[in-house]
């Protein structure tokens, strides 16, 4: 039986078809992003490509440096040609997604929103008919406002819980020095409105609902095939 890394490799390999010489590419975070970053490094060596990258987390920045990739800061005068990332959940019909399981949602959303094309790599277990069904929504918050944000989210119908670290005491702290609330909204009827309402709460840095951002989703199936979903 294949593990997740073996399964997702097919989707990541297919996503490489989007990589072209001279591109500036945004790299997401998590296992799929790490997998595709490693595959891109192999592609660069084989094809002598000239590429530059913007990393969304310390995890991917450190991996990219180990692989010898050229990292740059996000340039305001030039959009990214492509962003490659994973997801915690993808709604099949709309391709709206939930991200932030790894805590890098703020930079991931900045990178995705500044790319000409966003491609997501997942395995089929992460597809759903209704976003939020069986999946918590991460919300990054300023530590000073965590309590106030918690109460505001409860008024929206969510059930928030402060994410705590594994292997350390206390709350999980993001690369930006903030905390994360994992919120159970159940199946989300209107992801676009929910994303907007949470973002309007003072103290919220970012919300893990990414509506209307993914252009392509590469889905690794159990039989080894890869399905490509496109946003309508």
Task: Cite the active site residues.
Answer: 108
CB 173 within 8 A of CB 179: yes
Bridge partners (DSSP) listed for residue 93: none
Task: Report CA torsion sign: 218, 116, 36, 211.
Answer: negative
Length of the chain (residues) = 232
Q: Give the torsion through C-alpha atoms of 169, 172, 136, 215, to 10 deg.
A: -150
CB 11 within 8 A of CB 101: no
CB 108 within 8 A of CB 75: no
| Residue 209, SS3 per DSSP | strand
Residue 77, CA distances (Å) to 49, 82, 115 in order: 23, 15, 12
Look-up of token digits 């050229």:
70
H or E element at residue 211: none
| Residue 122, SS3 per DSSP | strand
């Amino acid at each position: 039986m294949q593990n997740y890394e073996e399964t997702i490799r097919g989707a990541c390999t297919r996503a490489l078809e989007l990589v072209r010489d001279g591109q500036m590419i945004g790299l997401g975070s998590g296992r799929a992003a790490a997998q595709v970053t490693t595959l891109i490094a192999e592609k660069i060596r084989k094809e002598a490509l000239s590429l530059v990258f913007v990393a969304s987390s310390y995890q991917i920045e450190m991996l990219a440096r180990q692989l010898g990739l050229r990292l740059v800061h996000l340039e305001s005068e030039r959009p990214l040609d492509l962003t490659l990332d994973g997801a915690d959940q993808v709604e099949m019909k709309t391709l709206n997604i939930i991200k932030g399981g790894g805590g890098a949602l703020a930079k991931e959303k900045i990178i995705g929103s500044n790319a000409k094309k966003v491609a997501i790599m997942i395995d089929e277990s992460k597809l759903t008919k209704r976003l939020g069904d069986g999946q918590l929504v991460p919300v990054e918050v300023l530590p000073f406002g965590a309590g106030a944000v918690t109460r505001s989210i409860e008024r929206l119908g969510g059930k928030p819980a402060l994410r705590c670290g594994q292997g350390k005491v206390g709350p999980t702290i993001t690369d930006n020095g903030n905390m994360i609330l994992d919120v159970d909204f159940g199946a989300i009827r209107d992801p676009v409105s929910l994303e907007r309402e949470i973002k309007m709460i003072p103290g919220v840095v970012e919300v893990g609902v990414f509506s209307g951002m993914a252009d392509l989703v590469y889905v690794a199936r159990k039989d080894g095939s890869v399905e490509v979903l496109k946003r309508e």
